Amino acid sequence: MPNPSLLLCDSDALVQSFIANDLRPLQGLTRQFGIQPVITLEVDMELRWLGKHKDRFVPQLDKALKHGILVKLDQSEFQRHLATAAPGTSWSSYQALGSQYYGFVQRGEAYTHAGAVTLGMPALSNDQKAIYVLQAQMLRTAVPTLRAFDLFVFAHESGILQINACEDIRSELLKSGEGIPGPFLHASFENGMRDFPCRLRQGKASETPPDPANHHDPLVIVPL
């Protein structure tokens, strides 16, 4: 299976990259693996006014958009990916699905999962509870759904981030009171990594890994 062309990113996961002030893992995905991180219009909206943070992340978001590290999934960008989507997929069907999901979860998560499901792409979101709620409603969620730490661990394993940078990310997130996966709570990044089942793995072009079928299945990608 070729690498997916997009990774739909949710606010909570991106916020962790913004707080850590390190977008290299996202950049690395595009440059080394041809996977473009995108945000829905709803995530863009959320990141521009996010609860107690208010407009704190706007400068970082604008910079990431300006440099193409993130791309907005607007109607024209969406249509560029229709060729690989299921027949009958359209902007309207995506909007309708997003609106349906939005009844159960927040706007960012709703449209991120709806976009990923509609286009058949993976997503990046830390909100496991949203996945649980959507699945309880018999609604499909992004396959797979990566967490911010999947990306950080993968970035380290594929040489995009040195271990020191990863330790800094962990410290910064802990200091900010951000939720981080259990294995990293009381262990260094390096030690935590050993007990963390990373959902993003690097494979070889010659291998054919199984296609992920669930939100927690690993995604194997190969360098360009």
Which residues are near another protein by CB under 8 A? 41-42, 45, 48-49, 51-52, 55, 58, 95, 98-99, 102-107, 109-111, 127-133, 136-137
Minimum CB separation from another protein for residue 103, in Å? 4
DSSP 95-129: HHHHHHHTTTS-HHHHHHHHHHHHHT--EE---HH
Judged by beta carbon, residue 33 or residue 149, the one nearer another protein is 149
Minimum CB separation from another protein for residue 35, in Å? 24
- Give the N- to C-terminal CA distance of the chain in Å, as an integer: 13
Judged by beta carbon, residue 55 or residue 190, the one nearer another protein is 55
Q: What helix, strand, coil percent values describe the chain, rounded to 5?
A: 50, 10, 40
Judged by beta carbon, residue 58 or residue 222, the one nearer another protein is 58
Q: Which amino acid is at 183?
A: P
- The Cα–Cα gap between 107 and 105 comes to 7
Minimum CB separation from another protein for residue 15, in Å? 12
Helix or strand (DSSP H, E) at 39: strand 36-40
Minimum CB separation from another protein for residue 28, in Å? 27
Read off the tokens for 222. 């190969």
Judged by beta carbon, residue 52 or residue 66, the one nearer another protein is 52
Judged by beta carbon, residue 30 or residue 95, the one nearer another protein is 95
Task: Give, in order, the Cα–Cα distances in Å from 143 to each of 11, 77, 133, 213, 219.
Answer: 18, 20, 16, 6, 9
Minimum CB separation from another protein for residue 179, in Å? 9
